[in-house]
Structure 1
Amino acid sequence: DISIIFPAAPGSYADTSWGTVSWALDCIGGTFNPQLSIGPCVLCPQGNSTNGLTGQSICVSCEKDAFCPTGAAFGNIGTSSSILTSASQALAYPVSPQSVRFDNILMQNMLYLRSPMSGHCVLVSAFFWALIVIALGIVIIFVMIILKYYVRNTQLQVTRERVTRLLKQTDFIGEGELWMGGIATISIAILATFAYIFSSAYFQRYPIERVNSPANFACDTTLTNAQFSSGLMSLTVSPNDDEVPMFNLLNAQQFTVHLDLINTLFTCSDNVILMQNRGPNQFMITSTCVESNGSLSISAVLPSHVVTLQLSLTGIEIIGGFRFGLTGPAAHQEEDALDGIYTLTDLHFSQAFSVSDENDATEFSAIWTAYISYDIDQNFIDENDYKLIIIPLVKRLYHCCCRRTVAKELPKNGAEKTFDRF
Structure 2
Amino acid sequence: ILTLSSQIDNGNSVGFGKGVAWLASDQAAILANRYTSTFSLWLSSQIWLYTQLPTIGLTSAPTAIIPNNQQPLPSTINNQLLNIRPISNSLAVLDVTGTTLLIVSTEPGFYASTDTRFSAESVSTHTISTKQACLAGTMKNNIGIYPCALCPSGSRSSRGSINCTRCNSSTFCPLGAVAEVAQRELETVSQAYAYPTSPDVTSFEDILLVNVFQLRRISRCIVLSPVFWTLIALVPLVFVGSIIVVLQIALRKKPSGSDYIVTVQSIIKGTDILVSVNIFSLKIIR
TM-score, scaled to structure 2 = 0.32
Look at both structures and tell me which one has the larger radius of gyration over its CA atoms.
2
Q: Answer 1 or 2: higher relative contact order, Cα 8 Å, separation at least 6.
A: 1
